[in-house]
Structure 1
């Protein structure tokens, strides 16, 4: 019987949350941060999806042969591993400048708004691409 081995990378945004794995609409199980888990699945054409809250990943189509081992990697949205540290740094710089000098720097405020907009995109319109499934 074929197996799908799912590798979950670590990331700031979803560190404390579990990701549910679905095969053809049926839940196989959940995976935690930095975990590797294997699922035995039927052979043939399969659709793999990962979900977290109301967000999900792309649909990954797999054609599995008998006794095949397929490795799949789950990641967050594009640049998610850099997004939160950079956003926090920009926000702290903005607040530091504002509270020490009293000046509302327009460029730093715009950078904070861009970070917020990028996150809101993936939590609303881009929710079907919040996670990424890739063949490893």
Structure 2
């Protein structure tokens, strides 16, 4: 018997939602924010994927041997932790400048952030989550 161990990063973007874990296209369980879980599986070639709503991670193909444990780290998209605070800060800055300085152009600074989010929710939806194999020594 082989094992796939997943550790989910602690993040606030998707804190309230569990990721669904798929091995070879079959859902084997879910993983909550900051949680580590092990999923027993058979020896051989497997494809591991994490999903949340209509978004997912790229598929990872692994070869497992008898009594082998493969370790993975799963989390949100690369810049997710800093994207929301920056976006909120720019929106607050826009409202302050537009009310007190009659400056209405700061909203254009938020446009690239919305375009990046739009990308991850549409075309890049299979890259919304990161899934990478890690070495544990």
TM-score (norm 2): 0.93
Match of 2:109 in 1: 111
Gaps of 5+ in 2: none
Match of 1:95 in 2: 95
- How many Å apart are 1:99 and its aligned residue? 1.9
Gaps of 5+ in 1: none
Match of 1:134 in 2: 132
- Measure the CA separation in 1 of the matches of 2:100 and 2:18: 40
- How many Å apart are 1:11 and its aligned residue? 2.0
CA RMSD of aligned residues (A): 1.0
Count, aligned residues: 134
- How many Å apart are 1:128 and its aligned residue? 0.7
Match of 1:17, SS? coil
Match of 1:38 in 2: 38
- How many Å apart are 1:98 and its aligned residue? 1.2
TM-score (norm 1): 0.94
Superposed CA offset, 1:39-63 (max 9, x none): 1011100000001000011000010
Match of 1:77, SS? coil
Superposed CA offset, 1:37-87 (max 9, x none): 111011100000001000011000010011001110002112111111111
Superposed CA offset, 1:85-134 (max 9, x none): 111111111121112223202xx222111111110110011101100110
Match of 1:37, SS? strand
